[in-house]
């Protein structure tokens, strides 16, 4: 399909499609791909259409399971020819826009993972999860820049920037990408790297799923034999003092050490130590890429501020054994500082057993994330030293917190597609829209955290 043809097409926003047209598309795809096609009412349709988030309930006209890049190309071409909405889903993490009325492409079956230990490079399919990469790299003493949860899909995490517990030392996951293969809005299979489609390669490293369907991703791995860290819990009555010490301590924290301070209500459960069950506590998450003694020396001021430990969860371990967990981002802001007024707000919001806010997390960024290479992609607001995440809401809390943020966000943490622009600097967002115009001028890939092409109305972002 020509570039001129792409620009002439228009796409419906109310998603009407007749049963006969739907059946025609399904027959065509069933005869052209190796994967399965599921229609409403078919066995497997309901299972395949749902993301992990219960907040949306997508109703695509069909679900197409791809098992290779040729299947992806066939699905893209069919959607274009029949002017159907087109959505992509691998593991279902980070899916916030329902794929209604058109083709929902599932790439979970494309989950290959290959590790080249000599080059310290991993090559993965779009359905691979971090647990697979961690396991494949471990025998060679290598680790990826994975996220907090091993079950998260590699490709979506990386395209959104990818912040993990090694990011202060090595940068965002997107910074380690060296090559990507993807199907464009024209249905072409292309390779993007520093010397091939360099503008597309730049945009992919943080611009999300706006520029094509990635069918293979290659990224660097790093030598790391063991780490020290975990989660330790302290009494909640020293919460304000702990965060005040944290803002000073973080200024000199080594890049080898990643931390977060959480004000949290520990759930009940037989697996929870009795002294923590159901109570409010301060949790300090830490991961140090080095020896236990060095880590404890750096952590000592935070421990002293938090008071006597209730449960000490720090230990030496392999990276694959590190289970740090994450905090759902019902509210997110990036912070330039931690003023006393913000500390008072967060401590007050998380106080009391009847608080509607289960967890407040303040996380230290900076390090390698704030020192990108000259050719780094558009990921995030790299100068922000802290992030604030609130899991839950209380009346007026967001309005009270917002003035303390710098207005930025991070794509992987966003649940509101209307805030996509806030994940980028103004300069990078303009450049992303230009790249979008070059590779997807009519916004075919729009069922996502959408970046509309330059020259098109931004109201189309989730339309």
Q: Which two tokens stand for residue 25?
A: 């598309």
pLDDT value at position 443? 96
Average pLDDT of span 402-430: 93
The pLDDT assigned to 393 comes to 67
Instruction: Determine the pLDDT at residue 7.
Output: 37
Q: Range with the lowest mean pLDDT among 13-17, 101-105, 136-140, 419-423?
A: 13-17
Q: How far apart are CA 309 and CA 230, in angstroms?
A: 13
Predicted model pTM: 0.91
Selection from 35-49, 382-396, 422-436 with the highest mean pLDDT: 422-436
What would the pLDDT profile of 55-96 be if each residue is shown by its tens digit? 788 899 999 999 999 999 999 999 999 999 999 998 877 778
Over 80: is that where the pLDDT of 460 sits? Answer: no
128: Cβ contacts below 8 Å, ≥ 6 apart: 110, 111, 112, 113, 153, 154, 155
Q: Is residue 249 over pLDDT 80?
A: yes
> In this predicted model, which residue has the larger pLDDT, 395 or 459?
395
Q: Is the dihedral of CA 121, 294, 303, 338 positive or negative?
A: negative
pLDDT at 454 over 50: yes
pLDDT-wise least confident of 134-138, 261-265, 454-458 = 454-458
Q: Which of 257-266, 386-395, 414-423 has the lowest mean pLDDT?
A: 386-395
Asked if pLDDT for residue 9 goes beyond 50, the answer is no
Question: CA 2 → CA 6, 8, 82, 186, 187, distances in Å?
Answer: 6, 10, 16, 8, 11
Question: Any idea which of 17-21, 393-397, 420-424, 430-434 has the lowest mean pLDDT?
Answer: 393-397
pLDDT value for 178:
98
Mean pLDDT of 233-239: 95
What is the layout of strands, in order, in the sheet containing 121-124? 113-116, 121-124, 213-220, 177-183, 189-192
* Under 8 Å between Cβ of 129 and 154: yes
Contacts of 236 (CB under 8 A, 6+ apart): 263, 279, 280, 281, 282, 350, 351
**pLDDT value at residue 266:** 87
* Arithmetic mean of pLDDT, 6-21: 53
Residue 400, classed as helix, strand or coil, is: helix
Please tell me the least confidently modeled range out of 2-6, 442-446, 456-460. 2-6
Please check the confidence at residue 211 and state whether its pLDDT lies above 60: yes
Looking at residue 20, its pLDDT comes to 82
- For the CA atoms of the chain, what is the radius of gyration? 23
pLDDT at 458: 62
Beta strands in 206-245 (DSSP E): 213-220, 222-223, 227-235
Q: Which of 367, 357, 403, 322 is closest to 239 using CA atoms? A: 357
Task: Count CA within 13 A, CB hemisphere, residue 250.
Answer: 26
User: Distances in Å between the alpha carbon of 158 and those of 115, 126, 310, 361, 362?
Assistant: 17, 11, 36, 22, 22
- Tokens, residue 452: 């509309």
Q: What is the dihedral of CA 256, 258, 259, 260, to 10 degrees?
A: 170
> What domains does the chain contain, in order, with CATH numbers?
3-106 (3.30.43.10), 227-418 (3.40.462.20)
Task: Name every residue whose Cβ is closer than 8 Å to that of residue 116 and which is 6 or more positions away in sequence.
Answer: 122, 123
What residues have CB less than 8 Å from 172, skipping those under 6 apart? 145, 161, 162, 163, 206, 369, 379, 380
β-sheet bridge partners, residue 105: 64, 88
pLDDT band at residue 268 using 50, 70 and 90 as cut-offs: confident
Q: Are 280 and 236 contacting, i.e. CB atoms less than 8 angstroms apart? A: yes
pLDDT at 462: 45
Separation between Cα atoms, residue 315 and residue 288, nearest integer Å? 10
pLDDT for position 2: 36
Select from 217, 220, 225, 224 the least CA-distant residue to 201. 217
Question: Does residue 106 contact residue 89 with C-beta atoms inside 8 Å?
Answer: yes
Q: How many helices (H) and strands (E) does the chain have?
A: 13, 19
pLDDT for position 16: 59
Residue 271 has pLDDT above 90, yes or no: no
Q: Percentage of the chain with pLDDT > 70? A: 94
Q: Residue 348 contacts by C-beta under 8 Å, 6 or more apart in sequence?
A: none
**What are 159-178's pLDDT values in tens digits?**
999 999 999 999 999 999 99
Query: Does position 116 have pLDDT exceeding 50, yes or no?
Result: yes
Q: How confident is the model at residue 292 (pLDDT cuts 50, 70, 90)?
A: very high
Q: Is 407 exposed, middle or buried (0-12, 13-18, 19+ CB in 10 A)?
A: exposed
pLDDT tens, residue by residue, 176-200: 999 999 999 999 999 999 999 999 9
Contacting residues for 8 by C-beta, under 8 A, at least 6 apart: none
**More confident call, 458 vs 345:** 345
Query: What does the pLDDT read at residue 251?
Result: 95
Given pLDDT bands bounded at 50, 70 and 90, which one contains residue 140?
Answer: very high
User: How confident is the model over 212-218, as a mean pLDDT?
Assistant: 98
Q: Which helix (H) or strand (E) holds 140?
A: none
Q: Which of 283, 288, 297 is nearest to 316 (CA)?
A: 288
Q: Decide which of 213 and 324 is more confident.
A: 213
According to the model, what pLDDT value does residue 3 have?
37
Lowest mean pLDDT among 9-23, 25-39, 86-100: 9-23
Q: Report the alpha-carbon distance of residue 131 to residue 222 in Å, rounded.
A: 16
């Amino acid at each position: 399909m020509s570039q001129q043809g792409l620009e002439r097409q228009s796409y419906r926003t109310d998603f009407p499609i007749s049963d006969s047209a739907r059946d025609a598309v399904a027959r065509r795809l069933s005869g052209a791909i190796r994967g399965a096609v599921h229609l409403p009412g078919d066995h497997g349709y309901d299972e395949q259409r749902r993301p992990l988030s219960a907040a949306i309930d997508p109703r695509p006209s069909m679900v197409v399971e791809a098992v290779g890049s040729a299947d992806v190309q066939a699905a893209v071409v069919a959607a274009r020819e029949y002017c159907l909405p087109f959505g992509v889903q691998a593991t279902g993490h980070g899916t916030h826009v329902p794929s209604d009325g058109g083709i929902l492409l599932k790439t979970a079956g494309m989950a290959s993972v290959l590790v080249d230990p000599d080059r310290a490079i991993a090559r993965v399919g779009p359905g691979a999860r971090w647990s697979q990469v961690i396991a494949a790299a471990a025998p060679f003493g290598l680790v990826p820049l994975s996220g907090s949860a091993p079950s998260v899909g590699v490709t979506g995490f990386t395209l959104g920037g990818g912040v993990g517990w090694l990011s202060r030392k090595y940068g965002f996951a997107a910074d380690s990408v060296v090559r990507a293969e993807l199907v464009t809005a024209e249905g072409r299979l292309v390779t993007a790297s520093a010397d091939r489609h360099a503008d597309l390669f730049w945009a992919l490293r943080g611009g999300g799923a706006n520029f094509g369907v990635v069918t293979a991703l290659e990224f660097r791995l790093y030598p790391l034999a063991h780490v020290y860290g975990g989660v330790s819990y302290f009494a909640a009555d020293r919460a304000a003092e702990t965060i005040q010490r944290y803002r000073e301590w973080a200024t000199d924290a080594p890049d080898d050490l990643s931390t977060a301070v959480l004000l949290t209500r520990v759930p009940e459960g037989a697996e929870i130590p009795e002294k923590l069950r159901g109570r409010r506590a301060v949790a300090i998450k830490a991961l140090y890429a080095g020896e236990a003694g060095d880590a404890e020396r750096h952590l000592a001021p935070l421990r002293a501020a938090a008071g006597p430990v209730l449960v000490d969860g720090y230990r030496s371990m392999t990276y694959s054994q590190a289970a740090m967990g994450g905090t759902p981002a019902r509210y997110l802001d990036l912070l330039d500082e931690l003023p006393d007024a913000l500390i008072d707000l967060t401590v007050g919001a998380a106080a009391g057993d009847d608080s509607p806010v289960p967890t407040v997390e303040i996380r230290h960024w900076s390090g390698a994330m704030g020192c990108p290479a000259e050719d780094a992609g558009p990921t995030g607001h790299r100068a922000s030293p802290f992030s604030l995440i609130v899991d839950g809401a209380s009346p007026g809390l967001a309005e009270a917190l917002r003035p303390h943020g710098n207005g930025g966000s991070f794509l992987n943490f966003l649940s509101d597609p209307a805030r996509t622009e806030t994940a980028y600097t103004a300069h990078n967002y303009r450049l992303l829209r230009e790249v979008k115009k070059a590779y997807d001028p009519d916004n075919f890939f729009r069922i996502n955290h959408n970046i509309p092409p330059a020259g098109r109305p931004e109201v189309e972002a989730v339309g």
